[in-house]
Amino acid sequence: MMEYKVEMCQEHSQEAIVAIDEAEQDLKIRKLCLQCLAKGYKRKITLLKDSINQVEETKAQIKQDRQCQLQNNLESLRSLVQNIEQLKDFYIQKIETTIEFVKKWIIQIQNMEEEFMNKISSHDQNDIQQFLSFIQQQQDIQIKE
């Protein structure tokens, strides 16, 4: 139990405070000594040691409640970090897969263009209409692929 400072009664200056008048609003006359109690106080009175015990119990309960809340909060945050890490890994994998697809498309487009240019270069035509028709056919084939 915590030690407390001994206070003297406002009315009976030689007497130590032993109780608190819970109904009294004026904080200066709220504290009572044994003589004040002996005068037949009719209000709700709490012994000072009981009040101190109540304060200590309340402090202990608050500390325990706050500790539990802290643990719950920390557990929730750790779980959140774990979920964010999983989400990050998922998106990294999807991005890497997309990058690989785009690289394959680049190679495929380069190959198609090279093939197209080789066909154009190797095609011998004297007639521009036939040559343009041939180019159109080749482009249509590429579009289908």
Q: Give percent of the chain with pLDDT exceeding 70.
A: 91
Q: What is the 3-state secondary structure (H, E, C) of the chain?
A: CCCCCCCECCCCCCCECCEEECCCCCCCCCEECHHHHHCCCCCCEEEHHHHHHHHHHHHHHHHHHHHHHHHHHHHHHHHHHHHHHHHHHHHHHHHHHHHHHHHHHHHHHHHHHHHHHHHHHHCCCCCHHHHHHHHHHHHHHHHHC
54-96 per-position pLDDT tens digit: 999 999 999 999 999 999 999 999 999 999 999 999 999 999 9
Question: pLDDT, tens digit, for every residue of 123-134?
Answer: 777 777 877 888
